């Protein structure tokens, strides 16, 4: 299985929002990423619209549907009423449900599924009735995929921040083992597997090699930082090379 790359463009939107100007253009940079081989785009509209704005969502959806049919649009966020209604209106390929709130700088934890069991069951069922694949954002804890399967999720996305953002090699290796164990538990539960947060050109390959059934990685902050060095198109190609060659067992 080849792991797919979804480019998260929130950081680009946050840069745009520093000024009341239309650049950098999310549509133009999204187009460059897709033309360079990205399998899809990810957005995370928050209530305060500090990066992705609600008005951006249909424009990006139209970009994919009209110019890159077959690529995927992933909308992630906290499933409050406004979010669910927006997702039902857009009908992206995937909705990733994330338990964040307006006070968080970025997503920093996954669902307590037991605590929100009924709520998640209802939201998952409602979105699936519109033909949308639903993924739950979870911490790297091996007991969680089975619960995600119970509430009806199609996939889980493992929060890889404790692995990707760790500078101490010993702690990072321990965090990777937790990601691997959780990924294997997702496979055993019959779920598709995604991963995302603080993934880089350096730490992406070991994770994909260890999880050959990993279906998708969502990369945003680090990919955007790399694009300042290499340009968006070349950066996407570098991440795609890792996704393709690691999944096929080739060395870097």
Q: Which is the catalytic residue, given 157, 197, 215, 221?
A: 197
| Concatenated DSSP letters of 7-63 | EE-HHHHHHHTTTTS--S-HHHHHHHHHHTT--EEEE---TT-SSS-TTHHHHHHHH
Q: Which is the catalytic residue, given 51, 72, 76, 215?
A: 76
Question: 166 an active-site residue?
Answer: no
Question: 143 an active-site residue?
Answer: no
Question: 213 an active-site residue?
Answer: no
Q: Which is the catalytic residue, given 44, 157, 215, 221?
A: 44
Catalytic residues: 44, 76, 197
């Amino acid at each position: 299985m080849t792991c797919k790359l979804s480019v998260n463009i929130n950081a680009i939107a946050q840069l745009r929002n520093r000024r009341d100007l239309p650049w950098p253009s999310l549509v133009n940079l999204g187009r460059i990423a897709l033309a360079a081989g990205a399998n899809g785009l990810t957005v995370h509209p928050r209530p305060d619209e500090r990066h992705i704005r609600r008005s951006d969502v249909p424009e990006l959806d139209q970009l994919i549907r009209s110019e890159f049919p077959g690529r995927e649009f992933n909308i992630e966020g906290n499933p409050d009423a406004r979010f669910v209604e927006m997702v039902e209106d857009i009908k992206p390929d995937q909705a990733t449900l994330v338990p964040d709130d307006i006070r968080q700088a970025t997503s920093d934890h996954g669902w307590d599924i037991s605590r929100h069991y009924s709520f998640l069951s209802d939201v998952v069922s409602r979105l699936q009735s519109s033909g949308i694949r639903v993924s739950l954002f979870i911490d790297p804890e091996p007991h969680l995929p089975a619960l995600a399967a119970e509430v009806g999720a199609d996939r889980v996305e493992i929060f890889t921040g404790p692995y990707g953002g760790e500078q101490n090699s010993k702690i990072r290796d321990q965090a990777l083992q937790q990601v691997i164990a959780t990924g294997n538990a997702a496979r055993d539960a019959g779920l598709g597997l995604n991963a995302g947060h603080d993934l880089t050109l350096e730490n992406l390959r070991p994770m994909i090699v260890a999880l050959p059934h990993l279906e998708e990685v969502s990369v945003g902050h680090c990919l955007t930082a790399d694009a300042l060095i290499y340009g968006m198109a070349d950066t996407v190609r570098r991440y795609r090379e890792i996704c393709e060659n690691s999944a096929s067992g080739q060395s870097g």
